[in-house]
Amino acid sequence: MKKYLLLLLVSLTSSLLSVFLYSRLVDTRRVVWENDDGEVRYTSLVDKLFNARSTSAFQSSAPTNFIEAAEIATPSVVNIRALQESGSGIWGSSTLTGSSGSGVILSPDGYIVTNHHVVERSTDIKVTLADKREYKAKLIGSDPSTDITLLKIDEGNLPFIVFGNSDSVRIGEWVLAVGNPFNLESTVTAGIISAKGRNINILGGGASIESFIQTDAAVNPGNSGGALVNTVGELIGINTAIITESGSYEGYSFAVPSNLVQKVIRDLREFGQVQRAYLGVSIQELDSETAREIGLPNAEGVYINRVTTNGAAQDAGLKIGDVILGLNTAHVKSPSELQEYIGRFRPGDQVSLDYWRSGKKYRIRITLKDINNSIAATRVRGDELEDDLGIELRDLSGDEQRKMRIQGVMVTSVRRGSVIYNTNMQPGFVISSVNGNRVSSAAEAIEAIKNAYNSLVLDGYYEGEPDLYSYRFKKDE
């Protein structure tokens, strides 16, 4: 009997000991908790033993809410209709052609940003708000090199959008495109950031800046000039282009980054034209073979293949063969990124530049200049080409545009014996394009002519004559 009692006592003691040890070592509750930093911890030792990532931090994944962003952005996006008189109808009457697109209200007093190509050559621009109110818009300024135009309507207390930081957007981040595709007002589509710093060679001209944000949000004709916003409703880009073979959306759309847009519209509002800063170099992609030859660990950077005489880069000591690695705090991976970053500054601004030379990395300060190697902000006078080419230019008045039914730049004088004089061009000629790129202001024409390497073709018209004239010449003749 004693043996049985002893056995029972041992069994009972073992059971109690097991329960005690289990309660101490193993918590059967399979509960998790999340601290203020979003870190999730397992409270069960079983989970610790069978979950190899028990000490890892987990971020909770909540569904992205597009509703608030759409409600913020939609009231500030407008429909734009741009009309232009063209051709002649019966008994000499004119016909109206036009384009439509979108725009974004930037301030409560009526400043609106859109694409240059939406309103190009237009003499009558109408803006329809999201609440159906319609206004006639005034053109404040336009920049073909970034495809950005600033308009103004006479109204106050308007809904407007707040700029976001386009540098901070990340590939894979959700975005919304808001616009008026096919005249379907206030349309919202969603997608993600597919790439940044994308150059698709659509703007043309040596001074163009293409460093687009690429998304897969659906963008169609009529979306141009509309808003690309993040999930908190901030403007991070102006929708500008698509790549398509059918003419409609086929998967990718492109937007001008908001940080570049802000700089352009500030210039247009203050000066009527963009104050472009230049580094004073010609650049190209850095290939892997060249990177290996100069000792760089990868091919991320921009190779300098020419340095402009008396330009900003030459003043700072940069040379052919140097590789630009960074600008201020930004890492530069491609020519399009470098052009965008430089495009945010004005002549006279100083930047910090990182570059690679002879196996070492260096940092210097550079004072940027304009295309004339000046550091002062300037307004176009019209005589900038007089010394080199012998012509002076001015903008067409509104009456001249309506009467001649064209947009362009008036040649006001031609100096005897100059390169232009030898082409037989006469004062009164209206230049409508430079090397095939259309121009609508003296600033655009002067910049396009200066950026051309040598050969130039100036197309245009004389008042009262329907024929197109073309004048071809070389700068160094």
Report the alpha-carbon distance of residue 449 to residue 393 in Å, rounded.
12
pLDDT at position 205 is: 64
> Which residues, at least 6 apart from 405, have a Cβ–Cβ distance to it below 8 Å?
85, 86, 87, 94
Quick check: 46 pLDDT over 50?
no
pLDDT at position 50 is: 34
Q: pLDDT confidence of 352, banded at 50, 70, 90? A: very high
Q: List strand residue ranges (DSSP E) for 172-301, in order.
A: 174-179, 187-198, 212-215, 227-229, 235-242, 253-257, 281-285
> Which residues, at least 6 apart from 67, have a Cβ–Cβ distance to it below 8 Å?
none
Quick check: 59 pLDDT over 80?
no
Quick check: 4 pLDDT over 60?
no
Q: 391-474: what fold?
A: Pdz3 Domain (2.30.42)
Quick check: 11 pLDDT over 70?
no
Mean pLDDT along residues 194-214 = 85
Q: pLDDT confidence of 20, banded at 50, 70, 90? A: low
pLDDT at position 79 is: 96
Q: 63-274: what fold?
A: Thrombin, subunit H (2.40.10)
How much is the pTM?
0.69
Whether 63-274 and 281-367 share one fold: the answer is no
Integer CA distances (angstroms), 341 to 237, 286, 377, 378, in order: 15, 18, 18, 21
Mean pLDDT along residues 427-445 = 87
Quick check: 12 pLDDT over 90?
no
Q: Which CATH number fits domain 281-367: 2.40.50.140, 3.40.718.10, 3.30.365.10, 2.30.42.10?
A: 2.30.42.10
Catalytic positions = 117, 147, 224
Report the alpha-carbon distance of residue 232 to residue 268 in Å, rounded.
28
175: tokens are 């975005």
97: tokens are 């052609």
Which parts of 200-271 fold into alpha helices (H)?
Answer: 258-271
pLDDT at position 476 is: 75
Report the alpha-carbon distance of residue 88 to residue 109 in Å, rounded.
38
More confident residue, 142 or 41: 142
pLDDT at position 394 is: 87
Helix (H) or strand (E) holding 12, with range, is: helix 2-25
Domain extents in the chain: 2-50, 63-274, 281-367, 391-474
The tens digit of pLDDT for each residue in 83-109 reads: 875 544 444 445 667 788 999 999 999
Angle at Cα 19 formed by Cα 16 and Cα 20, nearest 5°? 85
202: tokens are 């659509």
The tens digit of pLDDT for each residue in 251-280 reads: 789 999 999 999 999 998 888 788 999 999
Residue written as token pair 């569904």 = 63
Report the alpha-carbon distance of residue 393 to residue 339 in Å, rounded.
28
